Amino acid sequence: MSGETEDTLTGVETTRRSAKAKVDAIGGRKLKPATLMMGHGYDPALSEGALKPPVFLTSTFVFPNAAAGKRHFEGVTGKRPGGAEGLVYSRFNGPNQEILEDRLGIWEGAEDALTFSSGMSAIATLFLSLVRPGDTIVHSGPLYAATETLIARVLGQFGVKWLDFPAGATRAEIDAVLQRAADGGRVALIYLESPANPTNALVDVEAVAASRDAIFADAADKPPIAIDNTFLGPLWSQPLRHGADVVVYSLTKYAGGHSDLVAGGVLGAKPLINTIRAMRNTIGTICDPNTAWMLLRSLETLELRMSRAGDNAAKVCAFLRDHPKVERVGYLGFLAEAEGRQADIYRRHCTGGGSTFSLYLKGGEAEAFRFLDALRIAKLAVSLGGTETLASHPAAMTHLSVADERKQALGITDNLVRISIGVEDADDLIADMEQALAAI
């Protein structure tokens, strides 16, 4: 907003800039994200003293003068990078969304962030902004089924190719796939999901980054590394610290945390975010003001909710681990004391085991269905990261569209149940699991 004085701007337009100058440190101590969630990016004085930001339900914004309107549109259209310097139109930006984006980036130390109408709209906008016909996308596997569909079936119609490596791949295995992709033409993007949905297998982000940097050392442009961090972020994993360039979120999950909204987020380095922003401005995948407002509410308790759910999951999984009707529990927290490659990745990349895990029962679909139908506290529903415990059957539900042979190769078997632990009493959840197992 260079060249403008404070009194030439509307109150709404100054909201974001004025709040940036507010307290982010005290006596040289940098404030923690949990503290900044209570006010960062918002100045009550600019909204009649309201403690919380109002919901700005408007389609368009009034420019203070014609010159300001021109500057704003230079940013929106990409003539000048970085987005609009002020508020323009709700397809591009808005006060609630901008405050939310300021706060989202804090958790992982990201330079910038964008919000979207859903996690899949965030992923689709990311792909559309970086990928051209004939390009190759390299990705880890498995991915969320809709993401795999978007890559293989939708983008595939436009000549986009893909290669993948398993989530737990070694550096040598990653090298082989990336080299094969590089030999075949332009690699537009390396897309990861860690832990993988629904197997909970971890990807070695550091190994992927090292492989990318080595194989594309002489390339004019190295393919960026993007990662879906929904299962562990931002509390238990921060991939930007391990070599990722862009982090993707379904904000529907832990960030929203109450199973009452749908939204997505992308955060990372400014140049990449600016590229993605230009595509979002064009196709209009921004989240709406009311959803942004609800997410601001939820971020205030994010650390509390994730911590409680994580503690509960550790107790529930400890019970399930030795149950005679359980074949295996894919809970990341067990890796802290384990050996092997997955344990090594966990210790380098994660600060906690999360609250979503894969439960492999002894038997098949029939046993899994009986278990799910017998649950009384846990709800039979897809999604994760809410205050309530949810359980689902990936092979028959979220990953139903995945080919049977690929499901088997990726470990998405008929005896697999995915569970997301909530914030209920842990002993009550254990009692529910115990009686449901008795029904098998």
Tens digits of residue pLDDT in 348-388: 999 999 999 999 999 999 999 999 999 999 999 999 999 99
Give CA–CA dist 74/71, Å, rounded: 5
- In the chain the domains, ranked by start, together with CATH numbers, are 6-99 (no CATH), 110-288 (3.40.640.10), 302-438 (3.90.1150.10)
- Report the candidate in 304, 303, 313 with the shortest Cα–Cα distance to residue 389: 313
Compute the distance between CA of residue 235 and CA of residue 302 in angstroms, rounded to an integer: 9
DSSP conformational letter for 241: G
Cα angle 247-252-257, degrees, rounded to a multiple of 5: 110
Residue 66, burial from CB neighbour count under 10 angstroms (0-12, 13-18, 19+): exposed
Looking at per-residue confidence, does 406 or 30 come out higher? 30
β-strand 246-250 against 225-228: which pairing, if any?
parallel
Quick one: CA dihedral 310, 316, 322, 326, positive or negative? negative
Minimal CA–CA distance to 10: which of 52, 73, 56, 75?
Answer: 56
Residue 76 has pLDDT above 50, yes or no: yes
**Whole-number mean pLDDT of the chain?**
93
- Retrieve residue 406's tokens: 């690929």
Tell me: pLDDT of 210 over 80. Answer: yes
C-alpha dihedral over 140, 400, 417, 145, to 10 degrees?
A: 30
**Residues, the chain:** 440
What per-residue confidence (pLDDT) applies to 382?
A: 94
Q: Is the pLDDT of residue 109 over 60?
A: yes
Cα gap 356→97, rounded to integer Å: 28
Q: Which residues are registered as beta bridge partners of 192?
A: 227
Tokens describing residue 30 = 């940098």
Residue range 111-120, pLDDT digits in tens: 999 999 999 9
Angle between helical axes of 205-215 and 171-183 (0-180°, round to 10): 40
Q: What is the pLDDT of residues 16-33, one digit of tens each?
A: 444 444 678 898 899 999
pLDDT of residue 404: 86
pLDDT band for 89, please (50, 70, 90 cuts): very high
| DSSP secondary structure code for residue 151 in this structure | I
User: Residue range 271-283: average pLDDT?
Assistant: 95
Question: Can you read off the two tokens belonging to residue 177?
Answer: 């796939």
pLDDT (0 to 100) of residue 16: 46
DSSP 391-438: EE-GGGTTTTTS-HHHHHHHT--TTEEEEE--SS-HHHHHHHHHHHHH
Helix (H) or strand (E) holding 299: helix 289-299
Please determine, for residue 11, whether its predicted confidence score (pLDDT) is greater than 60: no
d(C-alpha 421, C-alpha 313), whole Å: 6
405: pLDDT confidence band, cut at 50, 70 and 90? confident
* Beta pairing class for 225-228 and 187-193: parallel
Question: 379, 389 in Cβ contact below 8 A?
Answer: yes
Kind plus residue range of the DSSP H or E element containing 122: helix 119-130
Contact indicator for 430, 364 with CB cutoff of 8 Å:
no
The SS3 of residue 246 is strand
> Which helix (H) or strand (E) covers residue 162, if one does?
strand 161-166
Question: CA–CA distance from 406 to each of 160, 353, 409 (Å)?
Answer: 20, 26, 5
Helix %, strand %, coil % for the chain, to 5?
45, 15, 40
Distances (CA, A) of 369 to 353, 366, 384, 430, 436: 26, 5, 19, 18, 10
Predicted pLDDT of residue 21: 43
C-alpha span between 41 and 136 (Å, rounded): 38
**How many CA atoms within 13 Å lie on the side-chain side of 37?**
18
Identity of the residue numbered 54: P
Distance CA 195, CA 205 (A): 11
Q: Give CA separation, 272 vs 126, 222, 226, in Å.
A: 9, 12, 10
Please state the pTM of the whole predicted model.
Answer: 0.91
| Dihedral pair phi/psi, residue 11, rounded to 5° | -60, -40
Centroid of chain to Cα 262? 12
> In Å, what is the CA distance from 289 to each residue of 147, 220, 236?
26, 39, 28
How high is the pLDDT of residue 334?
97
- The residues pairing with 113 across neighbouring beta strands, listed in sequence order, are 267
DSSP state of 89: B
